[in-house]
Amino acid sequence: MDIYVSNEVKYSVAEDNFGNRKLYGLIEETHDNFEVTVSGTAQTGLDIFEEYSAFPAAYSLLKVHTSLTAPGEKIREYHKNLELETCSGDYEKALRIMHTLHYTFIYDAGATKVHETAENALALGRGVCQDYAHIMLSLLRMEGIPARYVVGMMQGEGSSHAWAEALCNGYWYGFDPTNHKLVNDDYIRVSCGRDSGDCSVIRGSFYGCVTQKQTENVKVEERN
């Protein structure tokens, strides 16, 4: 894996409690541009379904709602209409959530804010992959199913993608409600957490009185 960080920043490496690795550092000099490029080869399709054996308390956190996934009136009503009690297990519940959400929620890149709550997005009825994933997490957690938010990449998309993972029968399964697909070897996982807040691709702050602009570019090519 190759990492390029502009401005000759000396960076450190850290890991958060969901196992995501991150680089961090500080630029003391004045600057008007900052850039990070990570490139490399990812191998997919080896173990699509991760078996879960850790101490149960470690995933308790993933059963708890965050401020972004906390259900409100809209989600509660939506949840009731799903009639999940007629499903035969957690996996089937997750499938039904993905299916219904895909066909009732409209993809619209301009409808929601960066950190929109699941409740607001559902009330709007439209949003992006992040909103699909948050709503799905909210519904899964209402069923007591540990669920996590995943940021990753797919071929043919110009930016990062997001989906949900649910712990069913001891395995983590990935569900992509935006594309109505079970996560397979087309997907490259980058990070995971309780919601999008844990999985930001980049985060930071600066002192200064200027307006800032941020761009993100993702390119995935298949190699055999």
Partner 1 sequence: MNELIKNAETINRLLARYGVKFGIYKNGEFKEQLFPFDPIPRIIKNGEYKFLEKGLKQRVNALNCFLSDIYGEKRLVRDGVIPEEFIYSAKGFLPPCDGVTPPKNIYSHISGIDLVQSKDNNWYILEDNLRVPSGASYPMIARELQRRSAPDAFSETGVVDNRNYADMLKEVMDYVNTGGINVILSPGRYNAAFFEHSYLAEKTGAVLTTGKEIVCENDNLYYIDYNEKKQRVGAVYRRISDEYLDPMTFYEESVIGIPHIFEAYKKGNVALLNAPGNGVADDKGIYYFVPKMIKYYLGEEAVLMNAPTYLPYYDNDMRYVLDNFDSLVIKDVAEAGGYGVVFGNSLTKEKKAEFISLLKSEPRRFIAQEVIDFYDLDILDTDGKRVPRKADLRAFVLSGSETKVWASGLTRFSRNPDSFIVNSSQGGGFKDTWVLSR
- By beta-carbon proximity to partner 1, the closer residue of 46 and 57 is 57
Per CB under 8 A, contacts with partner 1 among 67-126 are none
64 scored as a contact of partner 1 (CB under 8 A): yes
Pick from 3, 6, 7, 16 the residue near partner 1 by CB under 8 A: 16
CB 82 within 8 A of CB 104: no
Distance from C-alpha of 178 to C-alpha of 53, rounded to nearest angstrom: 29
Residues present in the chain in total: 224
Pick from 5, 27, 48, 61 the residue near partner 1 by CB under 8 A: 61
Pick from 3, 14, 36, 106 the residue near partner 1 by CB under 8 A: 14
Closest CA to 196 of 106, 94, 115: 115
Phi-psi region of 166 (alpha: psi -120 to 50; beta: other; left: phi over 0): beta
Per CB under 8 A, contacts with partner 1 among 40-59 are 55-57
Stretch that binds partner 1, among 46-54, 147-155, 180-188, 199-207 (CB under 8 A): 199-207
- Footprint on this chain of partner 1 (rule: CB under 8 A): 10, 12, 14, 16-17, 24, 26, 28, 55-57, 60-61, 63-64, 194, 203-205
